[in-house]
Amino acid sequence: MVRATGDNPEQPVPAGGGGSASELVRLRDGSSVAVRPASARDEPALESFLSGLCLEARRLRFFTGGADIASAAHAVSATGPHRYGLIAHDEGGVLVGHATYVQLDRTRAEVGVEVADHLQGRGLGTILIERLATVAESRGITLFVAEVLPENHAMLSVFHDGFDARSTFHDGTDAVEFPTASWRLARERFGEGRRSDGRRRDEGQLEE
């Protein structure tokens, strides 16, 4: 269950929270955000971020307006051998996005992503999924899957335009899947293969 929008850009990431590896990435409008691995220390900021979503945003993200936000924040901040997450924050330390995958079996994982409303259309969702896919591929995961509400056009566009995802409609949702190796396709199409200082990033840089 994934969504491409959020609307609570007011909650800062706690100082020192998250993993030590951090990458400054440039968005399509020239602005920059920092992307780093998520950790349990991000849970309070993630709960604030998710709590600030409007009712419709929660419905698109969790398929219900009455989601247990505390449990959701705990889940997306958890780390382990079968899950991995990324946090994005702006220059002021404000959390502006996150992405996560949870492994379903040896080769498949479910992916989810959330991007703040004011950064919509700037490529952050694509960047987060691309970075997530590089880590997943290095761990032997070959396929990302997701369930998306058909009216969530922004998220479906990210998957289809960036990663040539395939989707089938079933029981009221679009079941989406695409190879983790398609991170290369997304990077080639959208050109986010460099840091904001112009240097190439190393593959797998964000993995702890």
CA–CA dist 154, 67 (Å, integer): 21
pLDDT for the residue 14: 34
Sheet of strand 32-37, all strands in order from the earlier edge strand to the far edge: 23-26, 32-37, 83-89, 95-103, 108-115, 143-148, 173-179, 166-170
User: Which residue matches tokens 């505390």?
Assistant: 70
Q: In the chain, what are the domain boundaries?
A: 23-190
The pTM of this model reads 0.79
C-alpha dihedral, 163 to 22 to 78 to 150, nearest 10°: -30
User: Which residue matches tokens 């602005």?
Assistant: 31
14-32 pLDDT, tens digit per residue, is 333 334 578 999 998 889 9
CB-facing half-sphere around the CA of 98: CA atoms within 13 A: 30
Q: Which of 158, 68, 166 is nearest to 115 (CA)?
A: 158
Which two structure tokens, joined as six digits, stand for 114?
A: 């959330």
Q: Letter for the amino acid at 141?
A: I
- pLDDT, one tens digit for every residue, the chain (208 residues): 544 433 333 333 333 333 457 899 999 888 999 999 999 999 998 888 887 766 776 676 666 556 677 877 888 888 888 999 999 998 888 898 889 999 999 999 999 998 887 887 899 999 999 999 999 999 999 999 999 988 888 889 999 999 999 999 988 889 999 999 999 999 888 764 444 343 434 444 455 5
Which two structure tokens, joined as six digits, stand for 91?
A: 């220059």
> Could you name the CATH architecture of 23-190?
3-Layer(aba) Sandwich (3.40)
Q: Dmax of the chain from CA atoms?
A: 46
